[in-house]
Amino acid sequence: MLQNKIIASLMVALTASMQFTVNAQQFASSISECPKLPGRTSPPTNPRDLRPDDIKVIAAMGDSIMAGFALEGVNDGKGGSSILNISSITEYRGQSWGIGGDDNAITIGNFVNHYNSSVEGRSKGSHLATICHGGLCLDAFRNQKKDVLNAALSGGLAMNLKDELDYLIPRMKKLPNINFETDWKLITIQIGSNDQCASCLNPFSGEVTVDKYSGYLEAAVERIKKEIPRVLVNLVGSFNVSAVYDLTKGQEYCRPLFNNPDAILNRVECSCFLFDDEARSNMDVLSNGYNQGLINIYNKYKDQESDTFAVRYTPAQIDISGFPLEGMSNMDCFHPGKLVHQWVAKIIWNSLFLPQAEIPTSMYQYKADEKVYCPAETDRFRVD
C-alpha cells in the first residue's frame, strides 16, 4: 500500500517535472528544435480548432515584401555588381517570410512544414520580378512552378488583390496531392506599404484611401469565403513605412547614387520620400487607418463564424526605426533583407497562437536571436 503511494507520488512528481521541461522548451532557437506534435485523436471540424499539422495548403498574398523582392541585396564582391545587375531586381520567393519553402529558410511556410511535411503551396527559389504598377500587372513574369501559392505581386497595391486571387484560386485547384474541398488552408495576406507610398502619387492617391483599402481587403476576404472551402485567413497588419526614410537617410550602405547621400533608390520607390515631413506623417495616419479597416473586417467576419471559414487579425506593430541597417536590402534600402524576413516570420508565427487580447500591444523590436514558439498539443491558431 505504502509502496504504491510512494510510487504514485513519484509519478506525480515526475509528470510535473516533465511538464516543466516541456514548458521550458516552449521557445527554441530554431523550429527544428521544436518537438513534433503527437497525432490528433480526432480531426479538426472547424477553423477555430487548427494546429500547424492540420494545414495542408498554405498560400499568401501581398506586395514585393511577400514576393521576397531584393531580399538578398546587392553583392558588392570584387569590382562590385551594379544595381543594373539582374540579380538586383529578383524576387527571392523561396525565402519570403510568409510562405518561402527553400531548404532551411526561416519562414512560416517551413514552420508549418516542420509539423506536417505534406503541406503544399510554399514558393521556391527566385526569378525576375513580377512588376506591377497600379492597375497594370505584368503577370507574364509569373513562374507558376516557383511561385506555387505565393500570389504576391511586386508593386502591388490593395487594389491588386483581385488580380492575385485570379491567379491564386485556379492555381490552388490545380495543386497535386490536395483535396480542394476537404483540406485545411491557411492564407496570409499582408499589403499596404505601396499604398502608403502611393498617397503622394497621382493618379493613385485616390485609390489608397482608408475606405478604398478597406473595401479592396474586404472584397478579397469575401471572395475567399465564397470560393475557397475550409480556410483560415490571416490578415497581417500594415506597418509604418515612413520610418524607412530616417533609417536610411544619408547611409553609405544604401548605395547612394552619384555619391549624393539623399539619392537613394527608395526615394523613387516610395513617392512620399520625395516630399516633406507632413507627407510622411500622413503615411502613418493612413497605415493606422488601414489597420482599423482590417480590425473592422475581422470583427465583421467573427460574427459570421462557420465550420469552413474564419479570419484572424495579426497586428504588425514593427518598429522599423530600430532595425540594424543590414536588416534592409542594400539594393534600395526600401525592401527588407533576409534578416528582417527571418525575424518577421518568427514574430508573426509566435503570435498566431495567442488570442487578440494577449498579443503584445508594444512595438516589436528587432532581435537577431529572436526565438520561435514551439506549439504544444493543446495550442491552436487562435481566431478569438
Ligand X SMILES: *[C@@H]1O[C@H](CO)[C@@H](O)[C@H](O)[C@H]1NC(C)=O
The reply to whether 118 sits near ligand X by the rule CB under 6 A is yes
Question: Grid coordinates representing 185?
Answer: 488552408
Binding mask 127-166 for ligand X (x = CB under 6 A): ----------------------------------------
Amino acid at 367: K
The correct pick among 87, 209, 308, 321 for binding ligand X (CB under 6 A) is 87
CA 209, 210, 215, 220 torsion-angle sign: positive
Spatial contact of 117 and 85, defined as CB atoms under 8 Å apart? no
CA-closest candidate to residue 162, choices 172, 148, 154, 151: 151
Which one of 124-132, 281-289, 334-342, 365-373 is the stretch in contact with ligand X (CB under 6 A)?
Answer: 281-289
Spatial contact of 161 and 189, defined as CB atoms under 8 Å apart? yes
Radius of gyration of the chain (CA): 22
How far is residue 308 from each of residues 40, 47, 180, measured CA to CA in Å?
Answer: 19, 6, 12
Give min distance, CB of 236 to ligand X, in A. Answer: 11
Spatial contact of 29 and 371, defined as CB atoms under 8 Å apart? yes
Question: Cβ closer to ligand X: 284 or 305?
Answer: 284
The correct pick among 288, 296, 308, 321 for binding ligand X (CB under 6 A) is 288
Which one of 143-151, 187-195, 283-291, 300-308 is the stretch in contact with ligand X (CB under 6 A)?
Answer: 283-291
State the alpha helices, DSSP H only, in the chain.
2-24, 108-115, 144-147, 161-173, 193-198, 210-227, 243-248, 266-269, 277-302, 338-352
Taking every pair of Cα atoms in the chain, the longest distance, rounded to a whole number of angstroms, is 87
The correct pick among 111, 167, 216, 239 for binding ligand X (CB under 6 A) is 239
Give min distance, CB of 117 to ligand X, in A. Answer: 7
Which one of 81-89, 187-195, 212-220, 252-260 is the stretch in contact with ligand X (CB under 6 A)?
Answer: 81-89
Question: Cβ closer to ligand X: 85 or 304?
Answer: 85
The reply to whether 299 sits near ligand X by the rule CB under 6 A is no
Give min distance, CB of 284 to ligand X, in A. Answer: 4
Give min distance, CB of 4 to ligand X, in A. Answer: 37
Question: Cβ closer to ligand X: 234 or 287?
Answer: 287
**Sequence-distant (≥ 6) Cβ neighbours of residue 138 within 8 angstroms:** 130, 131, 132
Which one of 102-110, 208-216, 284-292, 327-335 is the stretch in contact with ligand X (CB under 6 A)?
Answer: 284-292
The reply to whether 85 sits near ligand X by the rule CB under 6 A is yes
CA-closest candidate to residue 101, choices 149, 143, 48: 149
> Residue 187 has what DSSP assignment?
E
The reply to whether 182 sits near ligand X by the rule CB under 6 A is no
Give the binding-site size for ligand X (rule: CB under 6 A).
16
Give min distance, CB of 105 to ligand X, in A. Answer: 18
The correct pick among 9, 30, 75, 299 for binding ligand X (CB under 6 A) is 75
Spatial contact of 241 and 316, defined as CB atoms under 8 Å apart? no
CA-closest candidate to residue 216, choices 266, 284, 165: 165
Question: Cβ closer to ligand X: 110 or 132?
Answer: 110
CA-closest candidate to residue 86, choices 127, 123, 125: 127
How far is residue 12 from each of residues 7, 15, 25, 26, measured CA to CA in Å?
Answer: 9, 5, 20, 21
The reply to whether 284 sits near ligand X by the rule CB under 6 A is yes
Question: Cβ closer to ligand X: 169 or 285?
Answer: 285
The correct pick among 26, 46, 81, 209 for binding ligand X (CB under 6 A) is 81
The reply to whether 218 sits near ligand X by the rule CB under 6 A is no
The correct pick among 240, 271, 314, 329 for binding ligand X (CB under 6 A) is 240
Helix, strand, coil percentages in the chain from 3-state DSSP, rounded to 5: 45, 15, 45
Question: Cβ closer to ligand X: 127 or 137?
Answer: 127
Closest residue to ligand X, Cβ-based? 75
As a whole number of angstroms, the distance between CA 266 and CA 331 comes to 9
Which one of 21-29, 79-87, 132-140, 326-334 is the stretch in contact with ligand X (CB under 6 A)?
Answer: 79-87
Residues that bind ligand X (CB under 6 A): 39, 53, 56, 75, 81, 85, 87, 116, 118, 183, 239-240, 284, 287-288, 317
